[in-house]
C-alpha cells in the first residue's frame, strides 16, 4: 500500500478570486444588536482597533481534477458531504443554520457538495438544492441513484434499470433545482442490470444534457473497467480512511490511476470517529443514525479502536494538527486525484477540516504514521452483514 503515498505532485490551480468575490458580494453580514450589548459591540473603535473590512476569505483555494478528457471535473480539494445535515448523523441544527453553514462552505472555497436520492430519502437532495440555489453554475452538486425509493421510502432493493435511472434523474433535477447533474453516481451495484446497460443509460442522459458526468460507488476493478469502456467515468466514490484502506489492496485505486479516473473517499473521518469526538459513551440517535448498526461503533469496539485516534493525536500534537486534520491530510497526500468529502453540522469543524490544506508533511512522515496505525488491529467490521452484501461488485 505504501507505493500510493505521494507518488504524484499535487495539481493545484488558483481560484479566480475576483470572480469568486463578486459572486460572494451578497453575503455581507448585518447584525442586530440587542440592548445592553452596545458598549461591547457597537462602541466606536479607536484608530488602533479599526480592522479593515475584509472580503470573505477563501480558506481553501486548492483545486483538484477528477477524471480526464471529456469526463474531467475541476473541484475544490475537499468537498462537503451533505448527508449528515438531516440524515444518519443524529440530530442537526435547524434548516436555517444548516443553510448558513453550506453558504459558509462555499464562501471558504468548497465547490463540491455530495448528496443522494436515498439520503432522507429525498429530503437531503431537496435541502442541498435549496441551500445551493444562489450558487447555481458556480458549484457542483453530485448525487446518486440506485437504491429503490417508492413513495419516499427506501425499499432496500437496487434498481438501476434504464426506466428508473431516467425517472430518478428527472426527479433529482427537480429537487436539486438545476438543469443538469454535474456528477451522477450509481450508489450501489444492481445485480439485475449489467453495468454496461447503466453506462448506456448515462450516455443517453449526457447526450441530452441532463447529466454532465458519472461515477460508481463501492465497485470492483472489473466493474470499473467494463463501465469505463462504455462511458468514461469521472470518479469512484468508496469508503477510504485510516481504518479502512481496502481500495489500496483490491486494485480499485490502481485502476483509477491507470484509467485516469478520480477517487472520492467517503466517510474520510470514519463517520466522526477519527476526530476523537466519539467514544464508548456516545449515544447515537436511534431514529436517525446508522452508526448504531455498524459493528465498529459498539462501545467495546470504540474503546479498543481509540488507540488509533491516540496515534493520530500524537502525530498531530507536534505539528499543530487535530486528529481529523491528520486523517484527511493522509488521504490528500495519497494522490492529487483524490478528493475527500467530510460532512459536518458545525462551522468550527468546517473551518478545521478546510484548514487541513494548510499543513504539509513529507512522504516519510505520512509513511511512518501509516505504519504505526496499521500495526494496530481494528476491532469490528465496517458494515453489518446486510450492508456488506451490497458492496464490492
Ligand X SMILES: NC(=O)c1ccc[n+]([C@@H]2O[C@H](COP(=O)([O-])OP(=O)(O)OC[C@H]3O[C@@H](n4cnc5c(N)ncnc54)[C@H](OP(=O)(O)O)[C@@H]3O)[C@@H](O)[C@H]2O)c1
C-alpha cell of 85? 445535515
Tell me the three cell numbers of residue 76: 475544490
> What are residue 192's phi and psi, to 5 degrees?
-90, -5
CB of 55 to ligand X, least distance (A): 25
Q: Which residues from 247-266 bind ligand X, rule CB under 6 A?
A: 266
Among 242, 341, 354, 378, binds ligand X (CB under 6 A): 341
With the C-alpha atoms ordered 362, 365, 371, 376, is the resulting torsion angle positive or negative?
negative
Task: Classify 310 as helix, strand or coil.
Answer: helix
Give me the phi and psi of 371, to 5 degrees please: -60, -45
Q: Which residue of 56, 67, 81, 221 would you call a contact of ligand X, by CB under 6 A?
A: 81
Instruction: Give me the least distance between CB of 115 and ligand X, in Å please.
Output: 6
Cell 445485480 maps to which residue?
A: 191
Grouping H, G, I as helix, E, B as strand and the rest as coil, residue 235 is: strand
Q: How far apart are CA 354 and CA 76, in angstroms?
A: 10
H or E element, residue 237: strand 235-239
Question: For residues 339 and 264, is the Cβ–Cβ distance under 8 A?
Answer: yes
Shortest reach from residue 327's CB to ligand X, in Å:
8
Cβ-based nearer residue to ligand X, 245 or 275 = 275
Residue 364 C-alpha cell reads as 516519510
Cα-only R_g, the chain:
21
Q: Considering the complex, what minimum distance in angstroms separates the CB of residue 392 from ligand X?
A: 12
Q: Which of 64, 89, 175, 382 binds ligand X (CB under 6 A)?
A: 89
Quote the least distance from Cβ 45 to ligand X, whole Å: 33
- Taking the C-alpha atoms of residue 126 and residue 123, their distance in angstroms, rounded to an integer, is 5
Interaction of residue 343 with ligand X, rule CB under 6 A: yes
Report the residue number, 205 or 216, with the smaller CB distance to ligand X: 216
* Element holding 221 (H helix, E strand): helix 221-230
Per rule CB under 6 A, is residue 231 in the interface with ligand X? no
- Closest distance to ligand X from the beta carbon of 286 (Å): 16
- Candidate list 75, 83, 112, 165; residue touching ligand X; CB under 6 A: 83
What x-and-dash track marks residues 291-330 binding ligand X by CB under 6 A? ---------------------------------x------
CB 387 to ligand X: min, Å? 10
Judge contact between 343 and 80, C-beta under 8 A: yes
Site string for ligand X, 97-136 (x = CB under 6 A): -----------------x----------------------
Q: In this structure, is the dihedral angle defined by the CA atoms of residues 367, 372, 375 and 381, taken in order, positive or negative?
A: negative
Nearer to ligand X, 83 or 176 (CB): 83
Applying CB under 6 A, which of residues 76, 143, 234, 353 lies at the interface with ligand X?
A: 353
* Nearest to 114, CA basis, from 268, 306, 264: 264
221-230 vs 195-207: helix crossing angle, rounded to 10: 40
Residue 63 within binding range of ligand X, rule CB under 6 A: no
Question: Has 119 been annotated as catalytic?
Answer: yes
Q: Write phi, then psi, for 334 (nearest 5 degrees).
A: -65, -45
Q: Which one of residues 17, 157, 346, 389 is an interface residue with ligand X (CB under 6 A)?
A: 346
Catalytic residue among 87, 119, 168, 240: 119
Supply the minimum distance, in Å, between the C-beta of residue 36 and ligand X: 31
Return the residue of 105, 217, 224, 308 that touches ligand X, per CB under 6 A.
217
Bridge-based pairing of strands 147-150 and 153-158 is antiparallel
Q: In what order do the strands lie in the sheet with 235-239?
A: 80-81, 112-114, 140-145, 183-186, 214-217, 235-239, 262-266
Contact flags string 154-193 toward ligand X, x per CB under 6 A: ---------------------------------x------
The only residue of 63, 108, 349, 382 in contact with ligand X, by rule CB under 6 A: 349
- Interface region with ligand X, contact rule CB under 6 A, candidates 6-14, 63-71, 127-135, 346-354: 346-354
**Residues that are catalytic:** 119
Give me the residues that bind ligand X (CB under 6 A), please: 81-84, 89, 114, 187, 217, 237, 266-272, 275, 277, 324, 341-346, 349, 352-353
Amino acid at each position: 500500500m505504501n507505493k500510493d503515498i505521494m507518488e504524484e505532485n499535487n495539481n493545484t490551480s488558483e481560484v479566480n478570486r475576483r470572480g469568486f468575490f463578486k459572486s460572494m458580494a451578497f453575503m455581507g453580514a448585518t447584525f442586530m444588536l440587542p440592548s445592553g450589548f452596545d458598549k461591547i459591540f457597537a462602541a466606536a473603535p479607536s484608530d488602533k482597533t479599526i480592522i479593515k473590512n475584509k472580503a470573505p476569505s477563501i480558506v481553501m483555494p486548492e483545486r483538484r481534477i477528477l477524471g480526464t478528457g471529456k469526463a474531467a471535473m475541476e473541484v475544490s480539494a475537499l468537498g462537503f458531504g451533505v448527508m449528515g445535515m438531516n440524515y444518519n448523523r443524529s440530530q442537526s441544527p435547524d434548516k436555517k443554520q444548516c443553510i448558513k453553514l453550506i453558504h459558509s462552505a462555499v464562501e471558504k472555497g468548497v465547490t463540491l457538495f455530495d448528496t443522494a436520492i436515498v439520503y432522507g430519502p429525498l429530503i437531503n437532495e431537496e435541502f442541498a438544492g435549496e441551500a445551493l440555489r444562489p450558487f447555481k453554475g458556480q458549484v457542483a452538486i453530485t448525487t446518486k441513484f440506485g437504491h429503490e425509493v417508492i413513495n419516499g421510502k427506501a425499499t432496500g432493493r437496487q434498481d438501476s434499470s434504464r426506466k428508473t435511472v431516467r425517472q430518478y434523474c428527472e426527479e433529482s433535477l427537480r429537487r436539486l433545482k438545476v438543469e443538469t447533474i454535474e456528477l451522477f453516481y450509481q450508489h450501489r451495484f444492481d445485480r439485475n442490470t449489467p453495468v454496461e446497460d447503466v453506462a448506456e443509460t448515462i450516455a443517453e442522459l449526457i447526450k441530452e444534457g441532463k447529466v454532465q458526468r458519472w461515477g460508481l460507488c463501492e465497485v470492483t476493478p472489473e466493474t470499473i473497467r467494463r463501465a469505463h469502456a462504455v462511458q468514461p467515468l469521472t470518479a469512484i466514490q468508496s469508503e477510504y480512511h485510516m481504518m479502512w484502506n481496502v481500495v489500496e489492496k483490491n486494485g480499485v485505486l490502481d485502476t483509477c490511476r491507470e484509467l485516469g479516473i478520480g477517487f472520492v473517499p467517503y466517510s474520510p473521518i470514519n463517520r466522526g470517529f477519527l476526530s476523537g469526538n466519539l467514544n464508548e459513551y456516545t449515544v447515537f440517535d436511534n431514529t436517525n443514525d446508522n452508526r448504531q448498526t455498524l459493528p465498529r461503533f459498539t462501545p467495546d469496539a470504540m474503546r479498543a479502536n481509540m488507540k488509533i485516534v491516540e496515534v493520530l493525536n500524537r502525530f498531530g500534537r507536534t505539528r499543530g494538527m487535530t486528529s481529523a486534520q491528520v486523517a484527511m491530510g493522509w488521504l490528500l497526500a495519497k494522490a492529487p486525484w483524490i478528493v475527500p468529502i467530510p460532512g459536518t453540522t458545525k462551522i468550527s469543524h468546517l473551518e478545521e477540516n478546510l484548514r487541513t490544506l494548510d499543513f504539509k508533511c513529507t512522504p516519510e512522515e505520512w509513511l511512518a504514521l501509516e505504519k504505526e496505525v496499521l500495526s494496530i488491529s481494528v476491532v469490528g467490521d465496517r458494515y453489518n452483514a446486510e450492508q456488506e452484501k451490497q458492496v464490492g461488485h
